[in-house]
Amino acid sequence: MELNLTQKILAAHLVSGEMTPGEEIAIRVDQTLTQDATGTMAYLQFEAMGIPRVKTELSVSYVDHNMLQTGFENADDHRFLQTIAAKHGIYFSRPGNGICHQVHLERFGVPGKTLLGSDSHTPTGGGIGMLAIGAGGLDVAVAMAGGPFYLTMPKVLGVKLTGALPPWVAAKDVILEMLRRLSVKGGVGRIVEYFGPGVATLTVPGRATITNMGAELGATTSLFPSDAATRDFLAFQGRGDRWQPLAADPGARYDEEIEINLAELVPMVAAPHSPDRVQPVEHFAGTAIQQVSVGSCTNSSYYDLAIVAAVLRGKTVHPDVSLTINPGSKQVYEMIAQSGVLGDLIAAGARMLESSCGPCIGMGQAPASGSASVRTFNRNFEGRSGTMSAQVYLAGPEVAAAAALMGQLTDPRDLGPLPAIRPFTGDPNLADQMIEKPADDPSAVEVVRGPNIKPLPIHPGVPATLEGEILLKVGDNITTDHIMPAGAKVLPLRSNIPAISAYVFERCDPTFPARAQAAGGGFVIGGANYGQGSSREHAALAPMYLGVKAVIVKSFARIHKANLINFGIIPLTFAEETDYDRVPQGATATIPDIAAQLRAGEPLELVLDTGARLPLAHDLTPRQIAICLAGGLLNYMREQ
């Protein structure tokens, strides 16, 4: 039978289950990655499993998020990560070496392998034909311990690309077009596989931009074939031996199929405050802009920075605009330094930042009150920039460069012909001096823990009947940035669940943590696509610590739902979506006999003190039910 590329890679890694959409499957994980903001928890969990050395082919720990060191916390965490990596067989990418996804693509990714990363943008690896999936830190810890990764077999959405991008139109516009068509929930339960004659016209970094931001579709991952461009990319990285050609079989079928003619795309932006509010930039032409930020795991490759430099060359950033640049990796930084791109940027007045996530996760560069910012990033959720009143537009580097020059949103096609970028002809420096190999003698390594690293809270286990207050009712598309904000103030507390819990739902209702604790816990009610966005398991761990017992919504985003299960919060949905309207915040509720009913596969009910009895639904597998009832995956593993 003809297989598409997704099916081929999954079949080669299948440990259990049937590859029928909707069925639970388990796959072998070849590589893992973590970043610092999720990594400290992941390694504490790995440590708790008592496995001396990782069992994957390769595991890498990156430091790229918590790079502002306004107190001791982040630096302490970096030292913890460095020492625990050395001890347990994990490569360590030092702060300054770059953003995990960019560095992994350059230095470690391999076509046809599986990669599990504790960051939702792990699918960046799909740009070289890797099946790369984002997950919570605990799932990554299990993979490092040699366990398989469980997921619901997604549908495969084939996207046929035809034509070629016109001048000034970017790979970013391809994924913005996908978001315009499908929305932030259109990819849920799907792997997006690109194919067709248009693929060959896209560079590997361009493909990686597209698979990276496929996370914003809610997709499990996105995947490109591995072809001549992939071979050249790996050869440039001195890793040509890792290349193999990979593509769907001729005549292979997809569960769903759409087509994008690249030649018909125009420069676009995603308007505030959602990555799917996409329109051609010309609709917003003239909107005054006060900040332009180029970087993030979506758009921080050599070309992305070189095109900005080419637009600005010999000119100065508009007086109303602050332009910040984060090169995606040390390699990219060295390349722009050698080619003269860096000099052009500095001369034009760009504010050069380090190779890190930076403003993308609110680690500095919060915009001015009520101002507008154009960012080449992937998320523009309200408040994520660090400024609640900021208006953030997402765009490709061409649109960002035009805004930096003109001080307003401008269709870059109005700037005239596309300027030539400075070519890179130098030495990309493949020595990896900033990547440390694991220690030969683990017993000689002492793991250093700072005072901010607190032990993991333990779930008490699920009682026979759940009882509590409806603590909070929120609407559709609630992001993990709503549930557990990031940014310069909160991120340093990622290793300290009691402390970080004080910020749960800060952007929806800052009284939530105190109320939840005073009420002895309870329930959260949400709309559709609850928990979209980041993979941060803190959005489950901290609510668990505050006593949240179940979350009842219209529908869930994939990673967050898995994280809720992993930490013993039961993810339920309304059997009738309209029942959402019948649950008032503040009511007292019970879910009678939940443990017995779940085990027996019997229906559940939410019984309110208003007298209403609302039927609930779930699609938990028996394994997931056992995990929930044990109070999470760590308890469950201990029981096994």
Decide if 542 contacts 500 (C-beta within 8 A): yes
Among 45, 56, 296, 563, binds ligand SF4 (CB under 6 A): 296
Among 93, 355, 380, 535, binds ligand MIC (CB under 6 A): 535
Cα–chain-centroid distance for residue 369?
27
Q: Indicate whether 361 belongs to the interface with ligand MIC (CB under 6 A).
A: yes
Q: Indicate whether 61 belongs to the interface with ligand MIC (CB under 6 A).
A: no
294 binds, among ligand MIC, ligand SF4, none (CB under 5 to 8 A by kind): none
CB 282, min distance to ligand MIC, A: 29
Rounded CA separation 438/445 (Å): 10
How much of the chain is in helix, strand and coil states, percent to nearest 5?
A: 35, 20, 45
Q: Does the annotation mark 119 as catalytic?
A: yes
For residue 581, the tally of other CB atoms under 10 A from its CB is: 10
Rounded CA separation 491/494 (Å): 6
Q: Indicate whether 374 belongs to the interface with ligand SF4 (CB under 6 A).
A: no
Using the minimum distance from each CB to ligand SF4, give the nearer residue, 225 or 328.
Answer: 328
Q: Does the annotation mark 534 as catalytic?
A: yes
Run of H or E including 533: none
Q: Classify each residue of 412-427 as buried b or exposed e, where b means 16 or more C-beta atoms within 10 Å of its C-beta.
A: bbebeebeebbebeee
> Shortest CA distance to 105 belongs to which of 205, 37, 200?
205
β-bridge pairing 522-525 and 466-473: parallel
459 binds, among ligand MIC, ligand SF4, none (CB under 5 to 8 A by kind): none
Per-residue HEC secondary structure of 414-467 comes to HHCCCCCCCCCCCCCCCCCCCEECCCCCHHHCCCCCCCCCCCCCCCCCCCCCEE
Q: Indicate whether 357 belongs to the interface with ligand SF4 (CB under 6 A).
A: yes
Using the minimum distance from each CB to ligand SF4, give the nearer residue, 119 or 304.
Answer: 119
Q: Indicate whether 121 belongs to the interface with ligand MIC (CB under 6 A).
A: yes
3-state secondary structure of 330: helix
Strands (E), 36-162: 58-62, 91-93, 114-117, 131-134, 149-152, 155-162
Q: Indicate whether 37 belongs to the interface with ligand MIC (CB under 6 A).
A: yes
Among 97, 120, 376, 391, binds ligand MIC (CB under 6 A): 120
Tell me which of 536, 558, 560, 618 is the catalytic residue: 536
Phi-psi category of residue 433: left, alpha or beta, with phi > 0 → left and psi -120 to 50 → alpha? alpha
- For residue 504, what are the β-bridge partners? none
Using the minimum distance from each CB to ligand SF4, give the nearer residue, 17 or 39.
Answer: 39
Q: Indicate whether 378 belongs to the interface with ligand SF4 (CB under 6 A).
A: yes
- For residue 571, what are the β-bridge partners? 551
Tell me which of 30, 36, 64, 579 is the catalytic residue: 64
Using the minimum distance from each CB to ligand MIC, give the nearer residue, 113 or 536.
Answer: 536
CB 119, min distance to ligand SF4, A: 5
Q: Does the annotation mark 64 as catalytic?
A: yes
Decide if 294 contacts 304 (C-beta within 8 A): yes
Give the chain's largest Cα–Cα span: 73
536 binds, among ligand SF4, ligand MIC, none (CB under 5 to 8 A by kind): ligand MIC
Binding to ligand SF4, residues 103-122 (CB under 6 A): 119, 121
296 binds, among ligand SF4, ligand MIC, none (CB under 5 to 8 A by kind): ligand SF4
Binding to ligand SF4, residues 209-238 (CB under 6 A): none
Using the minimum distance from each CB to ligand MIC, give the nearer residue, 84 or 540.
Answer: 540
Q: Indicate whether 262 belongs to the interface with ligand MIC (CB under 6 A).
A: no
The answer to whether the bond into 273 is cis (omega within 30° of 0) is: yes
CB 385, min distance to ligand SF4, A: 11
Using the minimum distance from each CB to ligand SF4, give the nearer residue, 121 or 618.
Answer: 121
Binding to ligand MIC, residues 468-497 (CB under 6 A): 486
Q: Does the annotation mark 538 as catalytic?
A: no
Tell me which of 65, 121, 384, 558 is the catalytic residue: 65
Q: Indicate whether 99 belongs to the interface with ligand SF4 (CB under 6 A).
A: yes
Q: Indicate whether 382 belongs to the interface with ligand MIC (CB under 6 A).
A: no
Q: Indicate whether 536 belongs to the interface with ligand MIC (CB under 6 A).
A: yes
> Shortest CA distance to 215 belongs to which of 86, 77, 59, 394?
394
Decide if 35 contacts 64 (C-beta within 8 A): yes
Tell me which of 36, 77, 119, 276 is the catalytic residue: 119
3-state secondary structure of 537: coil
Cα–chain-centroid distance for residue 195?
23
Give the chain's length: 640
535 binds, among ligand MIC, ligand SF4, none (CB under 5 to 8 A by kind): ligand MIC
**Matching residue, tokens 């609930």:** 616
CB 378, min distance to ligand MIC, A: 7
Residues that bind ligand SF4 (CB under 6 A): 65, 99, 119, 121, 296-297, 357, 360-361, 377-378
Where along the sequence are the contacts to ligand MIC (CB under 6 A)? 37-38, 65, 119-121, 134, 361, 486, 533-536
Q: What positions carry a catalytic annotation?
A: 64-65, 119, 379, 534, 536
